[in-house]
Amino acid sequence: MLGRDRFDTTELIEVFVTAKGSIYQSDVENCLYLTFSGKTSRLSFQSLNDLKKIIDKVDLGHMCTLIEHADIEIILLKDNCFVLSGIEIIYLKEILQGAFTMFRLNHIITDCLDRLVIS
Amino acid sequence: MKDLMRIKSLLSAEIESLLNQQVKKEAHSSAIYLSMASWCDRNGFDGSADFFFKQSNEEREHQLKIYKYILDMGGTAISPDINNIKIEFGTFREVFEDALDQEIAITQSFKNIVARCHKEQDYVTLEFLNWFLREQREEEYVARRALELFEVIGENGTGYWDIDKNIGNIKYSAE
């Protein structure tokens, strides 16, 4: 985990931001910064993709019906550990879905530009 | 802004998912053929057991070929969980009917991925899949011919014995 002061925000490109968190991209480092629940994590694209797959698979309905255990999901991802409540999973899911929509949009635009004939 | 998604992988999430599903289908096919080999062996059809052992190996090779392609292109290949494999078959003929059904399902599945590749203009994966489309021509031909032996030779008298002896002789030539 990284504190906000550990990276230079001027070199970061906003990918997706909500009131609960954000994802920024660093083209210099080829990585992404996920700020959520008061902390910032530096993740590769692969790790962010893995996190999205894990979050998408979380059964929120099942979590809410647990009586004996707290509604907490612990996600271990390489160097990062996320301890999330049910509501945090909903917020994070929104951020990740938004970010991946932006990644796809960026890919479509880049692809179109790559296909242009340079005269 | 760098296209990190494209830098990481040549495959789109949809194509990667379809290829992983195909990995699972090939693994399932391999397991079913192994089960067919077991049934044939237990019931004295040695020629057919050998035939299905070979088929099982081929499906496994197909599985690994797709698996490696996903990895080579920067994707995440998922090792499949295979269960619910049919162990018992009602008749000798039913084994070959199931084998043809299996090959038809695999061909249809490849057609579905190819259609998606056309839609996404993923010509790299399309070129990779051409090998499998050619392979399916042979697979379906062999499975269909095997089943036709039951009509050509007949199931009475020494029919099953003859069919079992001739299964391994079915060859496909595209020329």
What is this model's ipTM? 0.77
Residue B55 lies in a domain: yes
**Could you give the number of structural domains in chain B?**
1
Q: Do B4 and A13 touch (CB under 8 A)?
A: no
pLDDT digits (tens, 9 = 90+) for A98-119: 999 999 999 999 988 888 776 6
Residue B174 lies in a domain: no
Q: Do A103 and B8 touch (CB under 8 A)?
A: no
Do residues B136 and B110 lie in contact, with contact meaning Cβ atoms separated by under 8 Å?
yes
Residue B131 lies in a domain: yes
Phi, psi of A41, rounded to the nearest 5 degrees: -115, 135
Q: Do B5 and A46 touch (CB under 8 A)?
A: no
Residue B175 lies in a domain: no
State CA A21 to chain mean position distance: 9
Percent of chain B beyond pLDDT 70? 99
pLDDT digits (tens, 9 = 90+) for B87-136: 999 999 999 999 999 999 999 999 999 999 999 999 999 999 999 999 99
Q: What is the CATH number of the domain that holds B101?
A: 1.20.1260.10
Give B6→chain A minimum CA distance, Å. Answer: 7
pLDDT band at A68 (very low <50, low <70, confident <90, very high): low
Give CA separation, A82 vs A1, A35, A99, B15, B99, in Å: 10, 12, 18, 29, 47
Give residue B130's domain range. Answer: 4-169
pLDDT digits (tens, 9 = 90+) for B141-160: 999 999 999 999 998 889 99
Give B-chain residues touching A111 at CB under 8 angstroms: 3, 6
Give B140→chain A minimum CA distance, Å. Answer: 36
